[in-house]
């Protein structure tokens, strides 16, 4: 069955436009309620959200759908996406939902679903839900006496904070560190500064005043420029930036230099390998991760396993082959010993622990390898599939590959969350890398016109 509603990370779109309308959200709640309403126990869903204005609408619509299907609902309020995965399992819920469009602007929103084990749903289960949403006459509503109840879980933040601190136990003491933390005016605006302060750091928080509109607005992991300025201005030891739902993280060194997910994975993998904690003999990453990471791991007789883009595919490979560390260059870091999905805050703590053990400043501790020149450009299109299939585009890609040769790599793909085509190339010649990307980009608008 072809999927139209669910993308690589749940359902996503512009708020109050299909598919992100209250009606569809309610039908998703009804459909997911039917799929997970199995067994003779009282069924439960947990629903979290980030800080965008439309979260109120989507949260309430989902809740109505679940209640009508006979599912009780625990409302978590604004919490990071990994908190939903954790609390779904901790509260023995049948299903969890995060209302968030991650790093997108406030105009967008999304719905991410988790199973009772706290992991994101498989393609098969999402397809089952999607089929019911498309055919609402097949949805069975609960009898009047079986309609669900809703209540707010007032201590959701505290439960998650304790779980995050438990991931480093008593090994990590941040006393003496000045940390600037950028919470993207998003879901981590309370929990991240609290965790860092409770572990002993001097915390300089910013982008911690969400108003429904300012999530990810010139702040957060996708816009780290202000964080870089703040770290230098405050003479801080390190900066930490999350995205809107805090499942990804990037760091900034004391010199104001950006540390991406590839450098974080390299640093954590190296530390865990030395400590005998790295399972699987390597790391799982995506086709977007830098060739420098692969070379770094290979020098240490560790493996880099690549998957298609999307943290769900990274996690699937980790679970299938016994790896406990994986992630994406964008900062989704998955540590399966501690979390069921990417967790920006837990990843930041593991990175800080590695830095502390190294005894070096951030600018040295997180410079694990010299990145191979890599260049990425996005182009907005109407129909990505048609654009990629156009003869002019396939010819441009073939010509670019011939120019780059065996010393590099080209990746052209459509985004799973936005109407974009992403073009990436890497190789040892930075000018050539940029040239081949531009060569492909120039062909795409003509094909998409």
Instruction: Specify the 3-state DSSP secondary structure of 113.
Output: strand
Report yes or no: 85 and 47 within 8 Å, Cβ to Cβ: no
Known catalytic residue: 122? no
Q: How many domains does the chain have?
A: 4
pLDDT of residue 386: 85
What phi and psi values does residue 395 have, to the nearest 5 degrees?
-65, -40
Q: Based on the domain organization, do 402 and 341 belong to the same domain? A: no
Q: Is residue 5 part of a domain?
A: no
Angstrom CA distances, 366 to 220, 225, 250, 255, 354, stand at: 19, 18, 11, 12, 9
User: Can you say how many angstroms the Cα of residue 291 is from the centroid of all Cα atoms in its chain?
Assistant: 21
Residue 371 DSSP label: P
Q: Which distant-in-sequence residues (6+ apart) come within 8 Å of 449 by Cβ?
A: none
pLDDT of residue 195: 98
pLDDT of residue 447: 57
Query: Where residue 177 sits, what CATH number does that domain have?
Result: 3.40.120.10
Range of the domain at 303: 261-365
pLDDT of residue 301: 97
- In terms of pTM, does the model score above 0.95? no
Q: Based on the domain organization, do 18 and 147 belong to the same domain? A: yes
Q: Based on the domain organization, do 60 and 145 belong to the same domain? A: yes
Q: What is the pLDDT along the chain (449 residues), one digit of tens a residue?
A: 456 899 878 999 999 999 999 999 999 999 999 999 988 888 999 999 999 999 999 999 999 999 999 999 999 999 999 999 999 999 999 999 999 999 999 999 999 999 999 999 988 999 999 999 999 999 999 999 999 999 999 999 999 999 999 999 777 999 999 999 999 999 999 999 999 999 999 999 999 999 999 999 999 999 999 999 999 999 999 999 999 999 999 999 999 999 999 999 999 999 999 999 999 999 999 998 999 999 999 999 999 999 988 888 999 999 999 999 999 999 999 999 999 999 999 999 999 999 999 999 999 999 999 999 989 999 888 888 888 888 889 999 999 999 988 778 899 988 876 788 999 999 989 999 999 999 999 988 765 55
Query: Where residue 412 sits, what CATH number does that domain have?
Result: 3.30.310.50
Q: Is residue 271 part of a domain?
A: yes
Q: Based on the domain organization, do 329 and 281 belong to the same domain? A: yes
From the candidates 54, 68, 100, 102, which is the catalytic residue? 102
Q: Based on the domain organization, do 332 and 381 belong to the same domain? A: no
Give the Cα separation of 158 and 163 in Å (integer): 9
Strands 303-307 and 282-286: parallel
Q: Based on the domain organization, do 210 and 177 belong to the same domain? A: yes
């Amino acid at each position: 069955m072809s999927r139209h509603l669910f993308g690589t990370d749940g359902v996503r779109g512009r708020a109050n436009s299909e598919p992100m309308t209250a009606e569809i959200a309610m039908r998703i709640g009804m459909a997911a309620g039917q799929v997970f309403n199995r067994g003779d126990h009282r069924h439960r869903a947990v629903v979290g959200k980030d800080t965008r204005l439309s979260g109120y609408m989507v949260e309430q619509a989902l809740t109505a759908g679940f209640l009508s299907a006979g599912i009780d609902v625990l409302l978590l309020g604004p919490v990071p996406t990994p908190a939903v995965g954790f609390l779904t399992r901790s509260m023995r819920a049948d299903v969890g939902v995060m209302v968030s469009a991650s790093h997108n602007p406030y105009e967008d929103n999304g719905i991410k679903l988790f199973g009772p084990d706290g992991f994101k749903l498989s393609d098969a289960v999402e397809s089952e839900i999607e089929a019911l949403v498309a055919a609402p006459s097949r949805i069975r509503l609960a009898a009047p006496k079986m309609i669900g109840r809703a209540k707010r879980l007032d201590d959701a933040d505290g439960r998650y904070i304790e779980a995050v601190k438990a991931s480093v136990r008593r090994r990590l003491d941040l006393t003496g560190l000045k940390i600037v933390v950028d919470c993207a005016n998003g879901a981590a605006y309370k929990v991240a500064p609290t965790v860092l302060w409770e572990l002993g750091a001097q915390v300089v928080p910013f982008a911690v005043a969400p108003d429904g509109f300012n999530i990810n607005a010139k702040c957060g992991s996708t816009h780290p420029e202000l964080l870089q300025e703040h770290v230098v201005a405050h003479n801080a030891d390190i900066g930490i930036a999350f995205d809107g739902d805090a499942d990804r993280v990037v760091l900034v060194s004391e010199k104001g230099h950006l540390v991406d997910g590839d450098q974080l994975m390299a640093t954590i993998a190296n530390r865990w390998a030395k400590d005998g904690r790295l399972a699987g003999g390597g790391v799982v990453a995506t086709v977007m991760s830098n060739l420098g990471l692969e070379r770094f791991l290979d020098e240490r007789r560790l493996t880099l396993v690549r998957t298609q883009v999307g943290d769900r595919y990274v996690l699937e490979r980790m679970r299938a082959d016994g790896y406990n560390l994986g992630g994406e260059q964008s900062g989704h870091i998955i540590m399966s010993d501690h979390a069921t999905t990417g967790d920006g805050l837990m990843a930041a703590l593991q990175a800080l622990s590695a830095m502390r053990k190294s005894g070096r400043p951030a600018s040295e501790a997180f410079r694990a390898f010299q990145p191979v020149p890599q260049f990425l450009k996005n182009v907005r299109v109407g129909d990505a599939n048609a654009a990629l299939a156009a003869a002019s585009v396939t010819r441009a890609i073939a010509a670019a590959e011939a120019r780059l040769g065996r010393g590099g790599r080209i990746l052209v793909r459509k985004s799973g969350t936005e109407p974009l085509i992403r073009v990436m190339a890497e190789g040892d010649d930075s000018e050539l890398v940029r040239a081949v990307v531009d060569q492909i980009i120039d062909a795409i608008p003509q094909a998409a016109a």
